[in-house]
Structure 1
Amino acid sequence: MTSPETLSAAASAVAFTPHFTNRFHSLGPAFFTELQAAALPAPHWIGVSQPCTELLGWPSDWWQQPGALDAFSGHAPWPGMQPLASVYSGHQFGVWAGQLGDGRALWLGEVQAPGGPLEMQLKGAGPTPYSRRGDGRAVLRSSIREFLCSEAMAGLGIPTTRALCLVGSRELKVQRETVETAAVVTRVAPSFLRFGHFEHFAHHGQPAQLQQLFDYFLRTHAPECADAPNPVTAVLARVAGQTADLIAQWQAVGFMHGVMNTDNMSMLGLTIDYGPFGFMDGFNPGHICNHSDHQGRYAFARQPQVGLWNLHALAQALFPLMPTADSDADAAAEALQEALEVYRERFGQALLSAMRAKLGLLDTLDEDGPLIDDWLRLLAKHQTDYTLAHRRLSHFDPHQPSPAEANAPVRDLFLDRPAFDAWAARYAERLKKTPADTSGDRAVRMKAVNPAVVLRNHLAQTAIERAEAGDFSEVQRLQQVLSRPYDEPSKPADADFPPDWAQHLEVSCSS
């Protein structure tokens, strides 16, 4: 991709017309409001994700198709698109917030991709009945962050909604802390259903609609649960397991979501709604990436606990669907609680497995848990750079006569060298207990799970500032780098320490 002017003027020689359907539309008006997008004036392309394009099975030049820019900036939908905003509710910062809904997102429909149906949404396409007095717009700043992080998470192998493309407008101004330009990002996922969709109908006393939504989810996304003795607990256990796996991957890579409200929790265990997220620089378990989170509810170390809290809220919403909800409420509640135990079991196993891989431990020994815990404590004590420490640890050689000197690149990250040396001696002895595993093989494995590049705030901020000045090349370059995060980048600064000014960056819920 080059300049937006070049992109807008390009024309595809091959006709391309995707086929859209929308199974969610069949649920009826109790679940959504149909409406058209509010078009971006004078839209221009900012970025297109080729990995997401490949996921859809679309030609690489689809965005050059006549009408593509209009379709993804809200001017004129493609044939088959049925724009709608869905209604949901939820708990925000642990407090019941009542009715919410797609306040600035529009479902467009589903396309049949090689791996199955994928839904598409425009985010920032104008007000809906659920905007709660908001303007329904997304600013360029937050849209760039979502576009980049959606694809970065996919590159890391972490379940996520995807971002197909990003469109901006120099003419549409919106007021946040300051006046900013607007943008629209197109999101892609197998489903955008959230915990909050079920909470809405449960809390508003609409059991028929709750059952209808559950049946829809069972039919379209969890058919294997339909034949279970109790499909409700089967679905809850499925969601609990997927959520546990997801949050374990967040913790392992040092990712902080920032706003883990129940309306931001995916029924498919996907990372969804990229607001004030962050990747860890110096490791601090108590770090709060969201400047609006004054109580620290969503601090890094609290994410696993919040995940379980949110699942309890989902279980409460599903309670009316339990066969014995009326005749034996205690038994129904106990069965739901038992389904939630999947989360505890899966999370611990998934996180320990991920951390073993990050330390290159090929087999399983009882000492691994304490070794990993002490490694994390060491990182926290010195607030050592999380990504760099694991990447450099990939080159650790336990067989050198002087391990301290041989492993200087990782050792030098710690102010207290003797503390590192004490842990490194234990680590070296642990690695030697797998004599068939060579340092070379281990380095290859560790580099495949310890990224060289993550979307640190300063990288995103640099791309944002250039884009605000009309240069979108850094957005496009960074998206390509982040799609291959385990490769050494051609620009060393992408994988280096954050600059001093990055310490003062703040992200909040104000986008």
Structure 2
Amino acid sequence: MNINPKHTFTSNLPADPILENTRRQVTKACYSYVKPKQTSNPKLLHVSPEMLKELGLSENDAKRKQFLNIFTGNTVLENTNPYAMCYGGHQFGHWAGQLGDGRAINLFEIEHNNQNWKLQLKGAGETPYSRTADGLAVLRSSIREYLCSEAMHHLGVPTTRALSLALSGDQVLRDVMYNGNPEYEKGAIVCRVSPSFLRFGSFEIFAARNDTETLKTLVDYTIKTHFKHLFTSSDPGGTEESFRETEINKQTYVSFFNEVALRNLDMVIHWQRVGFTHGVMNTDNLSILGLTIDYGPYGWLEGYEPGWTPNTTDSQHKRYRFGAQPDIVHWNLYQLANALYPLIEEAEGLEAVLANYAIQKEAKYLQMMRSKIGLSTEEPKDANLIQELEDCLQLTETDMTIFFRNLANFDSATPTNGLQIIRESFYEIKTVTEAVKNRWNLWFDSYADRLQRDPISAKAKKENMNSVNPKYVLRNYMAQLAIDDANKGDYKLIDDLFNLLKQPYAEQPKHEKWFAKRPEWARHKVGCSMLSCSS
């Protein structure tokens, strides 16, 4: 297996000088060196062929014992120094201080096809940032993260990726619902892959400590590594060294912030498009590259409920509910703006970016919703049509995924067939009263009228709608079925779902059983309706 590891992150940023793996406050450093914990009996459960290819590795490589040992932490490659990253964050709206990679250990980087990838093990043992935890992960959460990372990629949602899923062979004690009933579970490790694992909190921690020197070093590295197009060297024909040493001006910092804002807006609009709810949108869980990161208690909408959250910790205040996600990104950007301010010392540019986000948020959401209902042109009253649709979707429990997928079959020439076309999306048909039917029929009349003014053909409309409205998503009950089987030693469903979700917009007739509403047994089942942050 030919791996030529790179180290751009560690070679350009300050390290924690203390090599002892003890819980502590780490200052003036972006990371701490730490070795993964040895596992007793690792077993590879699944590998992503797509991610192997992205890394320049083969499926034969994945069958080697060396691959298993590297990506479960039992072998540290020669000339590599694994590390955990230092960052802070606002959790549920409150500053939490230092957080960091408490259960993630970065191994090395791989460059392939002009792309640099960081490879990180989640669940590979404690780090200086583990606080009171053990740094390990369990099988259930690891299955969810592995499947969802790759499923989101195939949905077209910006995301971190996953290379492999493995059992550690060790037992891990967890209290699933934080109710005082801990139990031992199978330990597992996911290899996560991303161009960067930097988060908003990576910058916040240094601003909070008034460590402007390290803050500047990190921001400059980030711009020159991941946002090169924003950076104009005073010597365009110069060497890489001169490029690295050239100072960044204040306007470039503002441009950087603007791109971070727009990338995260793009990401969250995709979440709203497919019905994904992150569940823990703390500032340490938002990527500086606008990638979906840290798959904890996430979930897809079953019934269309803007107020739904999958996170038990958030069940009372519902800060991170589905409908609030674009606004939470905005709030988190305010915190990032405060972190960047010491480098700029002028608020005007940062405030302009935040104001533009608010404007773009409304415009992008409307544009996205137009695409979901098949409109190719814009009219002033489209916002009213879409708002009425969202109101109708909440009149009775209506499955979001099935509704929008079946809506593509609507023919504006026969609007009276509207209810019949979406009937399958209703959870209980008896709740669809005459009043509800009348409201829907009025909406279909308006929708039909609007479609007739749209120049696109019915065939093209359906194709367009089916390209943005997935037929298959990783519903929580599907993941839970795979988890239940895996806990019994049967891993086939992991592979079945992995392959199903590689083509979420295709009809896949042989997998039609997965195009179905959440079964009633899953309505209140742990892992299917609400989840905790326990991993």
Q: Does 1:187 align with 2:156?
A: no
CA shift at 1:447, angstroms?
0.8
> Distance between the aligned counterparts of 2:61 and 2:215, measured in 1?
38
Alignment match, 2:281 = 260
Choose which of 485, 502, 522 in structure 2 pairs with 1:483. Answer: 502
Letter in 2 for 1:319: Y
Alignment match, 2:301 = 280
The SS at the match of 1:289 is coil
Alignment match, 2:14 = 28
Alignment match, 1:410 = 422
CA shift at 1:46, angstroms?
1.2
When normalised by structure 2's length, the TM-score is 0.88
Choose which of 182, 199, 208 in structure 1 pairs with 2:204. Answer: 199
Deviations 1:79-124 (A, max 9, x none): 4443100111111011110111000101112111225111110000
Choose which of 468, 473, 476 in structure 2 pairs with 1:457. Answer: 476
Contact kept, 8 Å, 1:191 with 1:268, in 2: the verdict is yes
Contact kept, 8 Å, 2:87 with 2:201, in 1: the verdict is yes
Letter in 2 for 1:501: W
Letter in 1 for 2:4: H
Of residues 406-415 and 299-308 in structure 1, the stretch that sits farther from structure 2 once superposed is 406-415
Q: Does 1:509 align with 2:533?
A: yes
Q: Does 1:76 align with 2:75?
A: yes
The SS at the match of 2:255 is helix
Alignment match, 2:518 = 498
Contact kept, 8 Å, 2:136 with 2:172, in 1: the verdict is no
Contact kept, 8 Å, 1:172 with 1:182, in 2: the verdict is yes
Alignment match, 1:443 = 462
Of residues 80-89 and 344-353 in structure 1, the stretch that sits farther from structure 2 once superposed is 344-353
Alignment match, 1:11 = none
Note closer, same or farther for the CA distance 1:115–1:443 as it changes in structure 2 (3 Å cut).
farther
> Distance between the aligned counterparts of 1:36 and 1:498, measured in 2?
42
Choose which of 247, 252, 256 in structure 2 pairs with 1:231. Answer: 252
Within 5 A, what are the aligned runs for 1:284-303? 284-293=305-314, 294-303=316-325
CA shift at 1:461, angstroms?
0.3
Deviations 1:170-220 (A, max 9, x none): 433333332211100000111100000101111112111001001100110
> Distance between the aligned counterparts of 2:94 and 2:250, measured in 1?
34
Alignment match, 2:347 = 333
The SS at the match of 2:45 is strand
Note closer, same or farther for the CA distance 1:121–1:387 as it changes in structure 2 (3 Å cut).
same
CA shift at 1:479, angstroms?
0.8
Contact kept, 8 Å, 1:161 with 1:187, in 2: the verdict is yes
Alignment match, 2:378 = 364
Within 5 A, what are the aligned runs for 1:54-203? 54-114=53-113, 116-176=115-175, 177-203=182-208
Contact kept, 8 Å, 1:106 with 1:123, in 2: the verdict is yes
Count residues with an aligned counterpart.
485
> Which 4+ runs in 1 deviate beyond 6 A?
none
Of residues 44-53 and 153-162 in structure 1, the stretch that sits farther from structure 2 once superposed is 44-53
Deviations 1:355-405 (A, max 9, x none): 1111111122222211111111111222310000000001111113xx323
> Distance between the aligned counterparts of 2:495 and 2:424, measured in 1?
34
> Distance between the aligned counterparts of 1:215 and 1:269, measured in 2?
18
Q: Structure 1 stretches of 5 or more lacking a match?
A: 1-15, 326-331
| Amino-acid identity (%) | 41
Of residues 51-60 and 94-103 in structure 1, the stretch that sits farther from structure 2 once superposed is 51-60
Alignment match, 1:466 = 485
The SS at the match of 2:32 is strand
CA shift at 1:63, angstroms?
0.7
